[in-house]
Each structure stands twice: as structure tokens, then as C-alpha cells.
Amino acid sequence: MAVSVRGGAGGTGARLEDLHATARTLAHTADELGEIIGDCLAAGAQDALEAASAVVAPVTWARVGVLRGAFAAGTAGLALELRATAAGLSAAARGYEAAEALAERVLDEALTGIGAVAGHAARTLLPFAVATAAPVVVAAGGVWAGAEGFDRVHNSVLRAFGARPVCDTAGVLERAVEDVGRRVLTTVERAAFAHPGAARALIEYVLPGAVSGFLGLPPGIPAGDLAPWPHDSVSLTRLLAGAAHSLGLLLPTGVSVERRPLTGTAGPGPRTAAEVFDRELEAHRGRANGRVRVDRVLGPDGVERAVVYVPATTDWAARGGRNGTDLTTNVETVAGSDSAMREAVRRALEGAGFRPGSEVMFVGYSQGGIVAGSLAADPAFRRRYRVRGLFTAGSPISDFDIPAGTRVLSVEHADDLVPNLDGGTNPDRSHWTTVTVDRAHAPGESPGSGHDGAGYRRSIDALERAHNRELADFMRDTDDFRGPVTGSQEYEAVRR
């Protein structure tokens, strides 16, 4: 099992933060040295006894002046060196950041430009494609209709002679088309999961550019957050959601959040990362509708804190039913809107009796991580609760601006497409660590097995047994949330 790490205490972002912090410290020290020089020179000018000594002991007075001047000059030189070093450190950090931003911009413009060209080409060729495809569709319909007619005639003859109808030419054709469709989808699925990095670039840059090109917009038009055309994965999701709404799909609904009975609510809480993730899987495993679980944990300092387990997707239907853990919740949350499960988490914390200012740690897998990440980045939610920790697995959360006060650990599989569906990589920051596991594949696994919850549980357990530093650091930093559980409650979001 190969492991790669992005961000955290040893990441590039943390080192750049250290450079900036060191530069500020050196500049502040230089300022203090300047104040010392000023105080030293002012003391000599204001000291009456020293002024009188110029008459009584002129030689000594002159020596004191020379020494004071030498001290001031030497200190001034040191202050200048500190300032120069601070400026050099700041310039180096800013230079690296600028180079990284330039590389990102070049990639953005290049891939978006490719998508725009493809979109313009598709718009131009669409009439010809329709004109070419129309006869093929008509001919295919004719063949299928002819097959149905042949079946009816052939089977009528068989019935007339007392035989059982056996001819199903139309059905054979239909099943053949379905089989081809399944094979194409499987091939696309395998390619997407085999190359999630390419899928990430496609979602973040190429597809938005293609949609803009198809709409007739020339490449390079600035796209702010309120632009009506897509310019990144978030705005693309909003566009897709709007298109789905026009078809009566993925429609937002009213939601009622209902408390569900839960047995065994008190006792020892999970101590290992694998045990924590086990409890996360229990929030949705085997259920048509997942439930938010809130554990009240007694820390070693006597303070009770909340551990919130947010469930994964349980319903992939595009037309909403009663389940809150559905595809609509995914789209709403990724698009930056409120969602059924965000409301469920808020109501669950209130129902569990946690007051404003309470400390919260989130655990989320897949959709659960999306919902948890969106709340951890939500200023309104953070004004009410102190989000101290966020533990996600297989969740696309790179678009959420989670501040430094929250310790984040994201575990991802290298062959899992889902964490790449937001089109980006998690930021390289000192408080946010992403551990990517290149897991071993079992023979005959399906393309989507990289997103399997049980597989993530095995990877987390393997990281723990291998004494992975990043996982151990996160567990240490959030140890306050793993004391005895004094009570637990579960809440379910039901669409109306």
C-alpha cells in the first residue's frame, strides 16, 4: 500500500507559512532594535550628569560618546541585516506562491480554451450531426418495427398450427442495444476511475469551457462568481441543477428532521480511527435513509463536546422521494446551497442540547464529508459552534474554504473518482492534511470499488497499523473528542 501526503505540518503550504511568520518575526525584531538605538541616543542627550562630565572629564565623556556611536552603528547594521533577511524570505515565499498561481492559471486557460474550442465545434457541427443521425435513427426505428412485425406474423402462424410462439427478433435487437450501452458505460466508468486526475481536469476546466463555447462565448471572457455561464465545477453544478429543475428533477423540497430511537447511547467511545469510521458507516449502512448521529463526549478536561457522524448517499434517484440522503442533497451542497442534510445536522446539534460556542468534530464519508465540509466552512455555522475537527473519507471538499481553526484530515483512494468530482485537489495548508492511498486491487473488482466504504475502512485500519504519522497527528490533535460517550442521539431528514 503506497501512500502520498498533501498539506499538513510537513507540506509546502506549512513551510511557506513558516517563511512568512519568520519574516514577520525578523522585521519586528528590527523594529525593536531601532527603538533601542533611539532610546540609547536620546538617553545621552538628556542625561544632565553626562553633559556635566564633558567639562569635568572630557576624555571619558568622549570615549562614552564613541562607544555609544559604535553600539548604535552596530545595532543599526544588525537591524538592516534582519530587514534584508526578512525581505528575502518574504520575496522567496511570494515568488513560490506566484509561480504556483501562474502555473494554475496557465493550466486553467489552456484546458478551458480546449474545452471552448470543442464547444464551438460541437455547436457548429450540431446541425450536420442531426441531419446525419436522423436517417440512421429512422432506419433503426424501421428495422425494429419490421422485426416486431415479423415476430407478430411468425408467432401468429405458429399459434394457428397449435405451436407456442418462440420468435422474439425485436427483443433480441433491444437487448443487443442495451448490452452495447452497458458496455460503453462500463468502459467510460473504468476509464474515469482509472484516471481520476484526468477526470478532475475535465470537470474543473474542460467541461465549463465546452459549455461556454457551445453557448457561443469567445474564450477568455472573465467569469465572476455570478456569471451566468459555467467557469468551474461549482458553477457547472449550478447550471446542471438548473437544467434538471426545468425537467422536474433534483427539485428542492421541504424537510422535516425527526429524532429516531437509539439504544446503547452511553459507554466507552471509539478510540482508534478505524473505530471512529465504523461508527460513521453505521449512520447509513443498510438504511434507505441515513441518519445524523451526535455523540456527547466527555473530554479529559471535563468539557462535553459533540462528535457528529454525517451519513453517505443512500438514494441515487434524480427525482426526489422522502430520503434526505439523496442525489438532490449532493447537488445542492456542492452548488453552495443549503440542503436537507445541512438542516439535519443543525437540528441534531440543537436537539442534542449543544449550545452556541460548543466544540464540534465532524466525521463524514462521501456525501457525509461534503455536508460536513460545507458546514465547517460556513461562517454562520461557525459563529454558533466551534468546529475543531473534520475527518472525511472519499469526499470532494476542495471547494470549501475551511479556516485554520479546524483540523482537517481527508483520506482518499488513488482510484476513487468521487473525491475528484469537485474538479480540484485539497489545498496544501498546515491545518489540512490529505492522505492518498494507492491500494491493492482484488481480482475482478468493479470500477467503482475504490469508493467502497468497507475499502476505506480497511485503508484507515492499515494506516493506523502502519503508524502513519499524519493519521496519528490528527488523532492526537482531536483527542479531546474521544472520551466516554455520555449520550447519543440520531436524527433523520425526511423530505416532504
Which helix (H) or strand (E) covers residue 495, if one does? strand 485-495
Mean pLDDT of successive 10-residue segments in the chain (496 residues)?
A: 89 83 91 87 70 76 82 88 90 87 83 87 88 85 84 82 78 83 76 78 86 79 64 85 90 91 84 96 94 95 96 92 94 93 96 95 98 97 98 96 96 95 92 94 80 96 96 96 94 94
- SS3 state at 318: coil
234 domain residue, yes or no: no
Q: Are 462 and 1 in contact (CB under 8 A)?
A: yes
Tell whether 243 is covered by a domain: no
Grid coordinates of 112: 478551458
Residue of 185, 178, 183, 233 whose CA lies nearest to 211? 233
Q: Does one domain contain both 189 and 43?
A: yes
Whether 484 is covered by a domain: the verdict is yes
Do 411 and 456 contact (CB within 8 A), yes or no? Answer: yes
Sorted by sequence, the CB contacts under 8 Å of residue 12 that are 6+ apart come out as 96, 428
The predicted pLDDT at position 220 comes to 62
Same domain, 85 and 207: yes
Q: Are 196 and 280 in the same domain? A: no
Residue 233 resides in a domain: no
Domain boundary among 181, 207, 222: 222
Beta strand 359-365 pairing with 432-438:
unpaired
User: How far lies 5's CA from each of 109, 201, 294, 411, 471, in Å?
Assistant: 27, 20, 30, 10, 11
**pTM given for the model:** 0.83
C-alpha 218/C-alpha 421 separation (Å) is: 26
Question: Is 473 found in the same domain as 335?
Answer: yes
Q: Are residues 54 and 163 in the same domain?
A: yes
Q: How far apart are CA 281 and CA 292, in angstroms?
A: 11
Q: Is 486 exposed, middle or buried (CB count within 10 Å of its CB: 0-12, 13-18, 19+)?
A: middle
Residues linked to residue 376 through DSSP beta bridges, in sequence order: none
Q: Total domain count for the chain?
A: 2
pLDDT tens, position by position, 423-472? 889 999 999 999 999 988 777 778 788 999 999 999 999 999 999 999 99
Inter-residue contact 310 to 371 (CB < 8 Å): yes
Q: Which residues contact 182 (CB under 8 A, 6 or more apart)?
A: none
Assess if residue 430 is contained within a domain: yes
Please give the pLDDT value at position 432.
Answer: 97
**Are 32 and 89 found together in one domain?**
yes
Residue that is last in its domain, among 197, 222, 247: 222
Residue 460: its pLDDT value, please?
A: 97
Whether residue 203 is found in the same domain as residue 296: no
For 386-418, give the DSSP string.
EEEEEEEES---TTS---TTSEEEEEEETT-SG
- Same domain for 293 and 218: no
Q: Are residues 193 and 267 in the same domain?
A: no
Asked if the structure places residue 208 within a domain, the reply is: yes
What pLDDT score does 224 carry? 59
C-alpha cell at 184: 460503453
222, 243, 271 — which closes off a domain?
222
Phi, psi angle pair for 269, to nearest 5°: -90, 170
Distance CA 330, CA 323 (A): 12
Same domain as 271, residue 154: no
Bridge partners of residue 495, in order along the sequence: 255
The answer to whether residue 229 sits within a structural domain is no
Residue type, 484: P
Residues 6+ apart with CB under 8 A from 438: 1, 2, 3, 4, 413, 414, 415
User: Sign (positive/negative) of CA torsion 421, 424, 427, 428?
Assistant: positive
Q: In the beta sheet, which residues pair with residue 467?
A: none
Same domain, 300 and 422: yes
Same structural domain, 110 and 157: yes
Range of the domain at 260: 255-440+447-495
Burial 324-355 (b: 16+ CB within 10 A, else e): bbbbbbbbbbbbbeebbbbbbbbbbbebbebe
> 286 Cβ partners below 8 Å, 6+ apart?
none
pLDDT of residue 227: 64
User: What Cα–Cα distance (Å) separates residue 313 from each residue in 167, 179, 286?
Assistant: 43, 27, 12
In a domain, 249, yes or no: no
| Contact of 211 with 236, CB cutoff 8 Å | yes
